[in-house]
Amino acid sequence: MRYPKGQKAESREKLVRASASLAKQRGFGVSGVDALAETAGLTSGAFYRHFEGKDQLLAAIVETELETTRARFATIDPASREQLLIAIDAYLSLAHVRHPEAGCVLPTLASEVARAPDETKAVFERALRELTAVLGEKVGEPTLASALVSLSVGAVTIARALASDEARREVLGAARKSARALLATL
Amino acid sequence: MRYPKGQKAESREKLVRASASLAKQRGFGVSGVDALAETAGLTSGAFYRHFEGKDQLLAAIVETELETTRARFATIDPASREQLLIAIDAYLSLAHVRHPEAGCVLPTLASEVARAPDETKAVFERALRELTAVLGEKVGEPTLASALVSLSVGAVTIARALASDEARREVLGAARKSARALLATL
DNA sequence: GTCTATATTACGATAGAC
DNA sequence: GTCTATCGTAATATAGAC
């Protein structure tokens, strides 16, 4: 089992899910333990009965969130190019750009994982491998799946740093167009 | 002129250049003003004679750094596909992944600009437009240039969050392959 | 123009009551 | 298992000397 046995599992799960939203919105490193714990209705005192420190929470967030993203793509019918394009368009949408707290963890927290301890990166690597493996089944080619992830994560990351919706639409539209071009090369 | 007149310009420029390296390596939000100022041999007291607050420094870093990245691509001969590919391969290299402090500002700080004030995003947008305009001239198509930036930024961001060189090479290699495929569609 | 010193607030983490 | 209270440190920003 993934969580330690006992009744702690429920609180821990809520802590991970709720603090993930805050971390995706404001950033993990700049968010204090008090604020992170409060998202689950807890105090920092309780927090340290679930995690040895902040670093462990980031690893748990990354693992849970990447699993969620993977699940979102897992339902796609491998034979349906249309379903795949709908999922890609949703990822590369203004709605996703506008709501990081509800979106994929990659554009928001990947750059923080890059500065985290090796154990955190190991969790990230394992979870990303599973995500790209699932996407590879749907796309037909594993290498292309990886590139589509990079393209989409980069586009959303950049779009969020832009000031105008006009510029955001340009970046997202360009990414959607290139995603189609890449899928057409198969 | 871009900087206020007087002798302050020199110290300010050093402050921006030096603190950019620290911000790219450790993150901007989690770096204190003391540490940022110290990279230029200054104290926080002196810092506030150059900037009204941290936010202004991030805007200055983003502007200067994106200009540097743009300059790196500006020397490419538009007729030479080979020069373009060399530049893209350098961006999508393990060396770039391993040295964020000396690399492009986009994979490291774009997600922090996303949480910064609108004025910071406005500076980012203007500078990114200039960068993609230059790249558009070299590539031949502005839309494709934007997608190549997104693809490259995403790949480097993700590669840095991975634990093993093996996984990093996979992500970077997949991005290089797709960049070539996209350029071949022209 | 930069320093030292400091005001004030927030941080990560722990101790002990319930 | 969670709370309140707290320790020690570090954050942003300012004041005043030089």
**B51, closest nucleotide (Cα–C1'):** D13
pLDDT in tens, B20-35: 999 999 999 999 999 9
Helix (H, G, I), strand (E, B) or coil at A12: helix
A window 31-70: Cβ near strand D (< 7 A): 37, 41-46, 49-50
**What is the model's pTM?**
0.97
pLDDT in tens, B143-162: 999 999 999 999 999 999 99
pLDDT at A95: 98
In this predicted structure, the answer to whether residue A3 has a pLDDT above a threshold of 70 is no
In this predicted structure, the answer to whether residue B5 has a pLDDT above a threshold of 80 is no
8 Å CB contact of A112 and B27: yes
Structure tokens at A132: 């790209």
Structure tokens at B20: 């950019």
- What is the average per-residue pLDDT within A98-115? 98
* Cα(B8)–Cα(A177) distance, integer angstroms: 46
8 Å CB contact of A175 and B150: yes
B43 CB neighbour count, 10 Å cutoff:
11
Q: How many CA atoms lie within 13 A of B181 on its CB side?
A: 20
pLDDT in tens, B84-99: 999 999 999 999 999 9
Residues in chain B: 186
Highest mean pLDDT among A6-10, A15-19, A76-80, B9-13: A15-19
* Cα(A158)–Cα(B178) distance, integer angstroms: 19
B window 29-58: Cβ near strand D (< 7 A): 31-35, 44-45, 47-48, 52-54
Q: Is the dihedral of CA A127, A129, A133, A139 positive or negative?
A: positive
Which positions of chain D lie under 7 Å from any protein Cβ?
A: 1-6, 10-16
Q: CA dist B48 to B4, B144, B179, Å?
A: 15, 41, 43
Provide the pLDDT confidence category of residue A8 given band limits of 50, 70 and 90. confident
* Cα(A152)–Cα(A158) distance, integer angstroms: 10
**A51, closest nucleotide (Cα–C1'):** C13
Structure tokens at B31: 């770096």
In this predicted structure, the answer to whether residue A2 has a pLDDT above a threshold of 90 is no
pLDDT at B8: 77
Asked whether B73 and B145 are in contact (CB, 8 A), the reply is no
pLDDT at A142: 97
Asked whether B137 and B131 are in contact (CB, 8 A), the reply is no
Number of helical H runs and strand E runs in chain A: 10, 0
**B50, closest nucleotide (Cα–C1'):** C1
- What is the average per-residue pLDDT within A113-131? 98
